[in-house]
Amino acid sequence: MILDPSSYSELVTALPQFETAAEGAVIVAVLGAAKSSDRIASLRAGADACFTYPYSYIEMHERMQVLHRTTTVRRRRNQLPPPFRLDPLKRELVDGNRRLPLTKREYLVLECLMRQFDVPVRHDELLRYAWPEKDDIDLSTASPLVWRLRRRLKQHLPDINIATVSCYGYQLTRTPICVPASAQDPRSQRAANT
């Protein structure tokens, strides 16, 4: 935020450094009274949005919502897809030959978590996604469902886990299964012994 027009050039000089240091964070420049050339210079220097006086807080809010959505989509595109998938026709979690039938809510919870695989998902985002028809849902409704789903995953697909991220939400992860030496191919055991 810079309100003095004589300092705008300093902001334009600093913005590329912010962009480099921020590693994908959204950068919003807030200026005082400014010309369109000042806004353009800020945007070209690396700002994702630029607001000038007089401010419209509704516009600022809506623009930041759009920026949040687009950066979330960008992050998802850069993410590797999960090594398992959901089958929407049979409502099952599929991992190779292994299949786990799911209830409607379990399916929605996993679908929400898989959209941001290996990234924490906020409680409220999960609640809105899995219970779209309810306005006043709270965490006490989701917790038992997540607990049951964890138990079922542990029985049928033990390498897939729903981790709790303290004071934030949940994260879907996959841990590699360690194959004991006794279960390995006998040829590879002989090769290791020679």
What is the spatial distance between Cα 161 and Cα 172, in angstroms, rounded to a whole number?
6
Residue ranges of the chain assigned to CATH 1.10.10.10? 85-174
| Euclidean distance between CA atoms 130 and 141, whole angstroms | 11
What is the pLDDT, as a whole number, of residue 24?
Answer: 66
Render pLDDT for 145-170 as a digit per residue (tens, 0 to 9): 999 999 999 998 888 899 998 888 89
- Give the separation between CA 138 and CA 193, rounded to whole angstroms: 57
Q: Is the pLDDT of residue 93 over 80?
A: yes
pTM: 0.51
Q: Give me the CATH code for the 85-174 domain, please.
A: 1.10.10.10
